Structure 1
Amino acid sequence: MNHQLKGIKILLVDDEPNILQFLELGLQNEGFDVETAQDGFAAITVARQFQPHLAILDVMMPGMDGFEVCRMLKKTENIAVIMLTAKEEVEDRVKGLTLGADDYMVKPFSFEELLARIHARIRNHFPNLLGEVVIGPFRIDDRRKEISYDNRVLELSPTEYELLSFLVINHGLVLSKSKILDKVWGYDFGGEENIVEVYIRSLRDKLSDKEHRLIRTLRGAGYRVDLP
């Protein structure tokens, strides 16, 4: 269990009991406080009492669907929302994001990817809650802008800090150069994509990752952090 996550509250809403139970146990084991609901009406009631930081909403539910739940939650609560759907329909995704959803995932998905997206949403929405995060051998202290690896504080420039944080928080996911540039350098960055390679090389040196086992290069796709 990651004790840094204790006190971060997540509401799970899905009409499939098996999915609900799987996600509830997994997130509780990670250290989150979790409440569940099996339909939209129950979700609104639970949210008012529980005051979650983040809601994970299934789109297709009887009665009130996930879109309507998202709209109502965003109207009344300070909450991050991740939508789940069994269909990879662009229209559904656009509708959810238009209603205020912060992220979108298509079933089936890996628990590790969901966890990475939860971290990213909480960090964006409630930065003070994740002031310090422990992920494998990494300790990221966002308040001090400091990262430790195997209990050793790394000497990082501000850009190196942002890049390594982004890679580690999204560990297990392949991140393209363009996505890294958008997140770390900003969407209006006018320089060359090769700058990512330069900074990756510097991070590998500082992590003593000569064999690229920690920060892997996937040719034509991007980079992925694999935790030991």
Structure 2
Amino acid sequence: MTHTAPVRPEGVDPARPAIRLDAAAIHVAVLDDHVVVRYGVEILVRQSPALRWSGSAATSGELFQLLSGGPCHVLVLDYELSPTEIDGWSLVKILRARFPHVRILVYTSHVEASAELLMRQAGAHGFVSKSGGLSELLHVIELVGAGELYFSAALSAMSTPAPGFAQLTPRETEVLRCCLQGMNMTDIARKFVRSVKTVSSQKRTAYRKLGIDSDYELLKLYAAPGTKRP
């Protein structure tokens, strides 16, 4: 389901100290496998007096090197890279663990509510659509850099996930995680080097264990209060 609710700031993140825009420039980096996007973000950052350019990466490996070599306050990240790359949820989790000082802004063309919820619960600090234009992106970078969280209004009504996922196998869990990120069966099969038939079977088995029949029900279950995150 495509999420079209207007995006708004959600408040100051209590886990991170605010970065004052009038006290220090915000260093920004970008991870995206499209060179046009990387170039566009670089131009945007270089034109803003409040921001400083830290660099760009096309792969997670390049990103880890970049973040290890210089300052970065805000990382603009497209969570869906090539099929051979680590999945977005795992990437955000790794980044939060290895680079806790970096605030993560997901910048993507996939704006499903399930993907936004998943990225937030992985530890991202903001989520914005590529369809919103560069002026919106600039505004959100500055907000996230100043210590705020930025998610859709609809997402603020959702809580953390609920029981049931613990009974799934690791492979069933990773298939559902990719479904929540908006990936189709062909993409998931290619990513994990399995057949589409195998991946579809794992999804059906997981749905049966969870007592659900659709992707919409999966999102509702994942967002239900008290759910234990897979």
TM-score normalised over the length of structure 1 = 0.50
Task: Pick 1 or 2: higher relative contact order, CA cutoff 8 A, min separation 6.
Answer: 2
Name 2:91's counterpart in structure 1: 69
1:108 aligns to 2:131 (yes or no) = yes
Residue 65 of structure 1 and its aligned partner are, at CA, apart by 3.9
Correspondences of 1:70-219 after superposition (within 5 Å)? 70-77=92-99, 78-124=101-147
Structure 1 residues 56 and 64: alpha-carbon distance in aligned structure 2, compared to 1, 3 A threshold: same
1:60 match: secondary structure: coil
Report % sequence identity: 16
Cα distance between partner residues in 1 of 2:102 and 2:24: 17
User: Which has the larger share of strand?
Assistant: 1
Residue 73 of structure 1 and its aligned partner are, at CA, apart by 1.5
Alignment counterpart, residue 52 of structure 2, candidates 30, 33, 47: 33
| Unmatched segments (≥5 aa) in structure 1 | 126-169, 171-175, 177-181, 183-228
1:56 match: secondary structure: strand
Name 1:55's counterpart in structure 2: 75
The root-mean-square deviation of aligned C-alpha atoms, in Å, is 2.8
Q: Which of 1 and 2 has greater Rg?
A: 1
Task: Give the partner amino acid of 2:115.
Answer: D
Structure 1 residues 108 and 94: alpha-carbon distance in aligned structure 2, compared to 1, 3 A threshold: same
Residue 19 of structure 1 and its aligned partner are, at CA, apart by 1.0
Name 2:39's counterpart in structure 1: 21
Residues 6, 33 of structure 1: 8 Å contact kept: no
What is the aligned length? 128
Cα distance between partner residues in 2 of 1:48 and 1:85: 24
Cα distance between partner residues in 2 of 1:93 and 1:114: 16
Structure 1 residues 11 and 65: alpha-carbon distance in aligned structure 2, compared to 1, 3 A threshold: farther
Task: Give the partner amino acid of 2:52.
Answer: D
Residues 44, 138 of structure 2: 8 Å contact kept: no
1:10 match: secondary structure: strand
Task: Give the partner amino acid of 2:123.
Answer: G
Residue 64 of structure 1 and its aligned partner are, at CA, apart by 2.6
Cα distance between partner residues in 2 of 1:54 and 1:115: 11
Name 2:66's counterpart in structure 1: 46
User: Which has the larger share of helix?
Assistant: 2
Structure 1 residues 116 and 11: alpha-carbon distance in aligned structure 2, compared to 1, 3 A threshold: same
Residues 66, 83 of structure 1: 8 Å contact kept: no
CA offset digits 1:147-186 (Å, max 9, x no partner) = xxxxxxxxxxxxxxxxxxxxxxx9xxxxx9xxxxx9xxxx
Name 2:27's counterpart in structure 1: 9
Task: Give the partner amino acid of 1:120.
Answer: L
Structure 1 residues 121 and 39: alpha-carbon distance in aligned structure 2, compared to 1, 3 A threshold: same
Task: Give the partner amino acid of 2:142.
Answer: H
1:112 match: secondary structure: helix
After superposing the two structures, state which structure 1 stretch, 3-12 or 76-85, moved more.
3-12
Cα distance between partner residues in 2 of 1:44 and 1:67: 16
2:77 match: secondary structure: strand
After superposing the two structures, state which structure 1 stretch, 16-25 or 104-113, moved more.
104-113
Residues 5, 30 of structure 1: 8 Å contact kept: no
| Unmatched segments (≥5 aa) in structure 2 | 1-20, 157-230
Task: List 4+ stretches of structure 1 deviating above 6 A.
Answer: none
